[in-house]
Structure 1
Amino acid sequence: MSKTMSADFKSRRDAETAVEHIVQEHGIDRSAVTIAPAGDDNTAGTEAARADIEDGRLKEGTEGEPALEGEIRVTVAFDEGLTEKVMTSFETYGGRAIDAV
């Protein structure tokens, strides 16, 4: 049976790392994974990742990149037998508000 699970992440980097783990370690097809803003605003998360830091400080302005306006949501569709593994991957990389359907 197919299942869907979502989690919100503070940074784009954390979301992408969780996705890579889910795809590479658990064999879930990348097309079964979506990454999108958790809200209505275009965002790169709520916390700066290394790409958002310049000379030891947060970059001035967004320089064409999405601002830090909200969390990033990752949603994965998978076979029910992988529920625990997907949840663990989300939690390991900081996923919060995990929702399973």
Structure 2
Amino acid sequence: MADDSVKTISAKFETREAADRAIEHLVQKCGVERANIFVQASAKDNTTGISPSGGDRAHGTENRTDAPLHGEIEVSADVTNEELIKAEQVFRDAGARGVAAR
């Protein structure tokens, strides 16, 4: 019999690109429903992370000046016990810091 109990896994990411990658892999590799994945700034201000990446970079060598770099991005997901181990690995592979489950 499968264990259907739910845990919340969360982690912080330095860039929006890393957070996006973790979200996509939660859906594609773990089968987590998008409605069970949550994203927010880890601090009070809106942020795209602590360093520019992806669309936050300008074309060429200069970074955009309008990307709010005010802290890390927190991603959390409600997962079953069966999904938990894979979800932890997805977070770590995407560069997560402070992975925790409760």
Q: Same fold (TM over 0.5)?
A: yes
| 1:58 aligned onto 2:63 | yes
Partner of 1:84: 85
Work out the CA distance in 2 between the residues paired with 1:4 and 1:20: 17
Structure 1 segments unaligned to the other structure (5+ residues): none
Work out the CA distance in 2 between the residues paired with 1:16 and 1:84: 19
State the 1:24 CA deviation. Answer: 1.0
Alignment of 1:33-52 (within 5 A): 33-52=37-56
2:49 maps to amino acid: G
Larger strand share, 1 or 2: 1
Q: Structure 1: which 4+ aligned runs deviate by more than 2 Å?
A: none
| 1:8 aligned onto 2:8 | no
State the 1:10 CA deviation. Answer: 0.4
Partner of 2:35: 31
Work out the CA distance in 2 between the residues paired with 1:26 and 1:14: 17
State the 1:91 CA deviation. Answer: 0.2
State the 1:50 CA deviation. Answer: 2.5
Work out the CA distance in 1 between the residues paired with 2:54 and 2:28: 23
Structure 2 segments unaligned to the other structure (5+ residues): none
Q: Between Structure 1 and Structure 2, how many residues are aligned?
A: 97
- The match for 2:25 among 21, 24, 30 is 21
- The TM-score, its normalising length taken from structure 1, stands at 0.91
Q: Kindly, what percent of the aligned residue pairs are identical?
A: 30
State the 1:73 CA deviation. Answer: 0.3
Q: CA RMSD in A?
A: 1.0
